[in-house]
Homo-oligomer: A and B are copies of this chain.
Amino acid sequence: MNTKSIETPLEHFYGVILGGGAGTRLWPLSRELSPKQILHLFGQDSLIRQTIYRLQKLIPEDRISIVTGERLYEEIRNHLLAEYPPLKEVRFILESAPRNTAPAVALAAWQLARHDEQAILGVFPSDHFIAPDEPLLEAIARAYRVAQEGCLVTFGLKPQRPETGYGYIEQGPAIAGGMGAYQVLRFHEKPDLPTAQSFLQSGRHFWNSGIFLFQAKTLLEEVQKYLPDLIATLQTLDRYSPQEYQRFAAELFGKLKPISLDYGVLEKSEKVAVLPVEIGWKDVGSLPSLDEFHPKDAQGNVQVGHVLLEDCRNTTVYSDSRLVATIGLEDLMVIDTRDATLVCPKSQSQKVSRIVARLKEEGAQEGISQRASARPWGSFIELEKGPTFQVKHIEVLPGMRLSEQLHNHRSEHWIILSGTARISLDGSDHLLHANESIYIPMNTRHRLENPGKILVRLIEVQNGEYLGEDDIERFQDDFGR
Contact surface of A with B, Cβ cutoff 8 Å: 28, 306, 308, 310-311, 319, 322-329, 332, 334, 336, 339-345, 347-349, 351-352, 354-355, 358-359, 364, 366, 383-384, 386, 388-389, 391, 393, 411, 413, 415, 417-418, 434-435, 437, 439, 459, 461, 463
Nearest neighbor of A417 in chain B, beta-carbon distance: B389
Least CB distance, A335 to chain B, in whole angstroms: 9
Bound-complex Cα distance A393 to B384 (A): 9
Q: Which 6 A-B pairs have the closest CB atoms?
A: A328-B348, A327-B344, A435-B463, A323-B340, A325-B355, A415-B461
How many monomers of this chain does the complex have?
Answer: 2
Nearest neighbor of A340 in chain B, beta-carbon distance: B323
Nearest neighbor of A326 in chain B, beta-carbon distance: B343
Least CB distance, A314 to chain B, in whole angstroms: 14
Bound-complex Cα distance A329 to B389 (A): 37
B342 near A325: Cβ-Cβ < 8 Å: yes
Least CB distance, A366 to chain B, in whole angstroms: 5
Nearest neighbor of A386 in chain B, beta-carbon distance: B417
**Which residue of B329, B341, B366, B415 is within 8 Å of A413 (Cβ)?**
B415
Bound-complex Cα distance A322 to B391 (A): 17
Q: Find chain B residues with CB under 8 A from A415 CB.
A: 413, 461, 463
Given known contacts A328-B351, A341-B322, A437 and B413 CB-to-CB distance under 8 angstroms: yes
Q: Find chain B residues with CB under 8 A from A461 CB.
A: 415, 417, 437, 459
Bound-complex Cα distance A334 to B355 (A): 17
B386 near A391: Cβ-Cβ < 8 Å: no
Bound-complex Cα distance A463 to B329 (A): 42
**Which residue of B324, B355, B459 is within 8 Å of A327 (Cβ)?**
B355
Q: Find chain B residues with CB under 8 A from A463 CB.
A: 415, 417, 434-435
Bound-complex Cα distance A322 to B461 (A): 21
Q: Find chain B residues with CB under 8 A from A391 CB.
A: 383, 391, 393, 459
Q: Find chain B residues with CB under 8 A from A348 CB.
A: 311, 327-328
**Which residue of B319, B328, B339, B386 is within 8 Å of A344 (Cβ)?**
B328
Bound-complex Cα distance A327 to B28 (A): 13
B351 near A322: Cβ-Cβ < 8 Å: no
Bound-complex Cα distance A401 to B354 (A): 49
Given known contacts A386-B417, A415-B461, A459-B461, A329 and B310 CB-to-CB distance under 8 angstroms: no
Task: Give 20 A-B pairs besides A415-B463, A435-B463 with Cβ atoms closer than 8 angstroms.
Answer: A28-B323, A28-B325, A308-B355, A308-B359, A310-B355, A323-B339, A323-B359, A323-B364, A324-B342, A325-B340, A325-B341, A326-B343, A326-B344, A327-B348, A327-B351, A328-B348, A389-B417, A413-B415, A417-B461, A437-B461
A343 near B332: Cβ-Cβ < 8 Å: yes
Least CB distance, A419 to chain B, in whole angstroms: 12
Q: Find chain B residues with CB under 8 A from A322 CB.
A: 339-341
Most chain B CB atoms below 10 A, which of A325, A366, A411: A325
Nearest neighbor of A347 in chain B, beta-carbon distance: B328
Least CB distance, A354 to chain B, in whole angstroms: 5
**Which residue of B332, B349, B366 is within 8 Å of A323 (Cβ)?**
B366
Given known contacts A324-B341, A366-B323, A351 and B310 CB-to-CB distance under 8 angstroms: yes
Nearest neighbor of A342 in chain B, beta-carbon distance: B325
Bound-complex Cα distance A418 to B464 (A): 11
**Which residue of B325, B383, B437 is within 8 Å of A384 (Cβ)?**
B383
Least CB distance, A34 to chain B, in whole angstroms: 15
Least CB distance, A374 to chain B, in whole angstroms: 18
A343 near B334: Cβ-Cβ < 8 Å: yes
Least CB distance, A311 to chain B, in whole angstroms: 7
A341 near B345: Cβ-Cβ < 8 Å: no
Q: Find chain B residues with CB under 8 A from A393 CB.
A: 384, 391
Sample of 28 A–B contacts (CB below 8 Å): A28-B323, A308-B355, A308-B359, A310-B351, A311-B351, A323-B341, A325-B341, A325-B352, A327-B342, A327-B351, A327-B354, A327-B355, A328-B344, A328-B348, A329-B344, A332-B343, A383-B384, A384-B393, A388-B434, A391-B391, A391-B459, A411-B435, A413-B437, A417-B461, A435-B463, A437-B437, A437-B461, A459-B459
Bound-complex Cα distance A355 to B437 (A): 42
Least CB distance, A15 to chain B, in whole angstroms: 37
Least CB distance, A326 to chain B, in whole angstroms: 5
Least CB distance, A60 to chain B, in whole angstroms: 40
**Which residue of B340, B388, B437, B459 is within 8 Å of A439 (Cβ)?**
B437
Bound-complex Cα distance A339 to B463 (A): 26
